[in-house]
Structure 1
Amino acid sequence: MDSVENIASLVETLVAPLVDYPDDLEVTAEEAEDGTILAEIRVNEEDAGKVIGRQGRVIKAIRTLARAAASRDGAAVEVELVD
């Protein structure tokens, strides 16, 4: 499994327990030209607040864990919640 799939799987594993509509959860990851991995999270609009958390703490924690996991491979990661 490559880094992109690992990051997508990690983010999905972290977000799935947070949402009320897991069927609407979609995590995609792709590598940009500069080597940065961009992970995008799509959730039901009612779940967006749960993924963001108070003052953005939950999404910040998800980003921190994804970056830590990618740093093992020397990769940079950006995690975004897409409307």
Structure 2
Amino acid sequence: MKDLLDYLVRQLVDHPDSVAVEQFDEEDGTVVLELSVGDDDYGRVIGKGGRTANALRTVVKAAAVKEQCRVLVDIVD
């Protein structure tokens, strides 16, 4: 799921080298993916009204269902 999110975001942004995804495992089995991008690319990742961010979360959650786990995607500054 981390690789999927990384791939999708790198296709969206102008500076793919500045994309970083960190994975943390919670005690309850939830996987937290923290996404950070370059300062100029936050608008592209979030999208108008948060539509792009919601679409990214939906795709990653669909992949998580296939692996039978719960995932949260956080976009951090």
Whether these two folds match at TM > 0.5 is yes
1:35-83 deviation digits (Å, cap 9, x = unpaired): 0110011101110010000100001001001111001122111001110
The CA deviation at 1:23 is 1.2
**In structure 1, what is the Cα distance between the partners aligned to 2:32 and 2:73?**
6
Task: List, as ranges, runs of 4+ consecutive aligned residues in structure 1 with deviation greater than 3 Å.
Answer: none
Alignment gaps of 5+ in structure 2: none
**In structure 1, what is the Cα distance between the partners aligned to 2:58 and 2:25?**
18
- Residue 33 in 1 paired to residue 27 in 2? yes
**In structure 1, what is the Cα distance between the partners aligned to 2:63 and 2:25?**
15
RMSD of the alignment, in Å?
0.8
Alignment of 1:1-83 (within 5 A): 7-83=1-77
Q: How many residues align?
A: 77
* Aligned residue type for 2:18: D
Q: Identity across aligned pairs (percent)?
A: 42
**In structure 2, what is the Cα distance between the partners aligned to 1:34 and 1:17?**
32
**In structure 2, what is the Cα distance between the partners aligned to 1:72 and 1:38?**
17
Alignment gaps of 5+ in structure 1: 1-6
TM-score of the superposed pair, with normalisation by structure 1: 0.88
